Structure 1
Amino acid sequence: MELTDEAKPGRGEWMTGGCQCGRVRYRVLIHDDAAYLCHCRMCQRATGGVSIAFKGVKQAELEWLGAKPDEYVSSPIARRGFCAGCGTPLTFRYADSDGMDLTVGSFDAPARFRPTQHFGAESWHEAWLDTRALPSQRVDQNPATVERWMKAVGKLPD
């Protein structure tokens, strides 16, 4: 498929994303809002988290705008893309697949996506699946954090 500046009707919508430092940037055609959470031990180790949110895409519909991500061969069957500059996990792909998973958090507008399934459920930590009842706090409600940001850059992060 030839990548053009405009997505054709019915063929998807362009979305962009990248790493925390901005060295790695991408744009990709997105066809739906479905995403998934992976709880497998390899993803837990690769991210340091209890799970990771992924959006499956076609590699042919993905374009790297800046530096390409560095890759780590994380197993005999898979590779993980990340930014060597800031460490942001960006991709997961099977070596023999034309698909690729992008981390939902690396999209510029991640709120579009909705989890539709779990993968690697044998390794999930049940206490972390539904945390809605826990107390919550916004960044701008924590005076110490606000003071640090204001002192460092004069504003809160986007």
Structure 2
Amino acid sequence: MGMEQQAVEIVETNKPVILQGGCLCGAVRYQLSAKPFDADYCHCKQCQKSSGAVFQVWMDFKREQVTWLKGEVSEFESSDNVRRGFCKQCGCTLSYRDTRYPDYFTLTIGSLDEPSLIKPNYHIYTSNQVKWLSITDDCERYQQERTS
């Protein structure tokens, strides 16, 4: 989290942007007071298993920028220091939290009401990328986690 951050792109719209999101069933809702300071595609095995997809797409915030409007996230300890958040009603994956960095909170871009507004900057854990997935964007790629 102490790494140099790239600017996260908010896709242009003709209306004011209020970033809100939540789970599939609507039991958990959140609002964001700022755009994310970072966003990425993660191809690690844990993201693949926890999402049921071949990668997960995340956006990072300072903890105080996330306001829970309704419900609460249940968490699963997927590894040392890592808590993955989900809705206990519908099972929707919502968050990732590293306990070593308590001031930061990560949310799934797909849980946004308008996920097309946030464009990720880079790919991590591409060493675990499924072989049939062809990445053609111009984002930086890292075999493991990003270290700089």
Question: Which amino acid in the other structure matches residue 117 of structure 2?
Answer: R
Question: Which amino acid in the other structure matches residue 113 of structure 1?
Answer: I
Task: Provide the alpha-carbon RMSD of the alignment.
Answer: 2.0
Deviations 1:61-114 (A, max 9, x none): 111111111011111120000001011000001012111111001001111111
The question of 1:62 aligning with 2:62 is answered no
> How do 1:3-22 residues align onto structure 2 when only pairs under 5 Å count?
14-22=18-26
The question of 1:37 aligning with 2:41 is answered yes
The question of 1:121 aligning with 2:126 is answered yes
Q: Measure the CA separation in 2 of the matches of 1:45 and 1:72.
A: 13
Q: 1:96 to 1:50 in 2, by over 3 A?
A: same
Question: Which amino acid in the other structure matches residue 104 of structure 2?
Answer: G
Instruction: Find the structure with the greater CA-based Rg.
Output: 1
- Can you give the 5+ residue segments of structure 1 that lack an aligned partner in the other structure? 1-12, 132-158
Q: Measure the CA separation in 1 of the matches of 2:80 and 2:93.
A: 19
1:89 pairs, out of 88, 93, 101, with 93
- Tell me how many residue pairs correspond in the alignment: 120
TM-score, normalising length: structure 2 = 0.74
How far apart are 1:31 and its partner, in Å? 2.8
Q: Measure the CA separation in 1 of the matches of 2:38 and 2:100.
A: 23
TM-score, normalising length: structure 1 = 0.70
Q: 1:14 to 1:59 in 2, by over 3 A?
A: farther
Q: Measure the CA separation in 2 of the matches of 1:47 and 1:95.
A: 20
Q: Which has the higher contact order (CA 8 A, sep 6+)?
A: 2
Does structure 2 conserve the Cα–Cα contact (< 8 Å) formed by 1:23 and 1:85? yes
The question of 1:79 aligning with 2:92 is answered no
Seq. identity, %: 34
Q: Measure the CA separation in 2 of the matches of 1:19 and 1:49.
A: 16
Deviating above 4 A after TM superposition, structure 1's stretches of 4 or more consecutive aligned residues are none
Q: Measure the CA separation in 1 of the matches of 2:132 and 2:115.
A: 24
Corresponding residue for residue 117 of structure 2: 112
Deviations 1:128-156 (A, max 9, x none): 2348xxxxxxxxxxxxxxxxxxxxxxxxx
- Can you give the 5+ residue segments of structure 2 that lack an aligned partner in the other structure? 1-16, 137-148
